[in-house]
Amino acid sequence: MEMALEEARAAGKRGEVPIGAVVVVDGSTVAASGNRTRELNDVTAHAEIAAIRMACEKLGQERLAGADLYVTLEPCTMCAAAISFARIRRLYYGAEDPKGGAVDNGVRFYTQPTCHHAPEVYSGFNETESADMLRAFFSEKRDLP
């Protein structure tokens, strides 16, 4: 989770929303990314999806069965679905996101009958640091002229 936080910090410095994600297989990090939506002009380039893409490419496989994903914020609906499609084994996330989350908030994607693979979910890791980083980022944005 520390590495995910580093990715989030780096994303914030690039002007991206400070969220970071890391994919781990058998204790080794295979991919790490922050949000890249601005850099790539791609609304789907959330940290989780960027990290999943990177891991699949590196491993030369379509899915990531047995992999674990660490992300600093509760995944949104799009990312929760991508995590399911990738067959991620365990999802560890930092802060809850009551406004945009889809795991323990919103649509609670993994509890829906249309979800065919649900990861084990663990939350609350470094949640204060994750949430503070986002709050600081958005309060700075609001202060802009």
Q: Which residues contact Zn ion (rule: CB under 5 A)?
A: 46, 76, 79
Alpha carbon distance, N-terminus to C-terminus of the chain: 34
Q: Which residues pair with 121 in a beta bridge?
A: 91
Is 133 within 8 Å of 8 (Cβ atoms)?
Answer: yes
Shortest approach of Zn ion to residue 71 CB, angstroms?
9
Rg of the chain over CA atoms, in angstroms?
Answer: 14
Query: Which CB, 36 or 46, lies closer to Zn ion?
Result: 46
Shortest approach of Zn ion to residue 46 CB, angstroms?
3
Active-site residue identified among 2, 48, 127, 129: 48
Query: Which CB, 55 or 79, lies closer to Zn ion?
Result: 79
The amino acid at 8: A
**Is residue 48 among the annotated active site residues?**
yes
What is the DSSP-derived secondary structure letter of residue 122?
E
Shortest approach of Zn ion to residue 35 CB, angstroms?
8
- Active site positions, annotated: 48
